[in-house]
Amino acid sequence: MTNEIPKYIGDLLERYEKGEREFPNCDFEVHENLQHLTLDDSNLQGSMFFSADFTGTSFRNCNLKNCGFKCCKFERVDFTNADLSGSLLSGAEFINCKFSNAKFDGADWYGYTITTEEFVSLILNEDNES
């Protein structure tokens, strides 16, 4: 295991497969295709993503506090027990995601700071309108 921040998603995935789970402050703003990844139980706190497609990815039990997810697509993503508190979700799109026990306290959604309860309420209202 290393304390070095992974510069490429391939490096992160290789280290994840070897059992490492600590990846704070990564900068993956140039990686667009991050589909079908399993990053369960990881610490990605403070990491940055731009225009990434996370379709089919699993973030179960992840620390995603203070991450930047600018213009990212989340389709069929599992956020069970994930903590996105303080994260920037500007332009993020959520489609058929699982949010059981996820936290969004202080997350910035299009310039609006939101609590977990407000986020759940918004998601439930969207589901009822469909």
* pLDDT of the chain, 130 residues: tens digit per residue: 557 888 888 899 999 999 999 999 999 877 778 999 999 999 999 999 999 999 999 999 999 999 999 989 999 999 999 999 999 998 888 888 999 999 989 888 765 555 677 777 766 665 554 4
Q: What is the DSSP string of 29-98?
A: TT--B-TT-B-TT-B-TT-EEES-B-TT-B-TT-B-TT-EEET-EEES-B-TT-B-TT-B-TT-EEES-B
Domain assignments of the chain as residue spans, ordered by start: 9-129
- Domain formed by 9-129, architecture: 3 Solenoid (2.160)
Cβ(9)–Cβ(29) below 8 Å: no
Q: How far apart are CA 98 and CA 102, in angstroms?
A: 9
pTM of the model: 0.82
Sign for the pseudo-dihedral over CA of 18, 98, 96, 87: negative
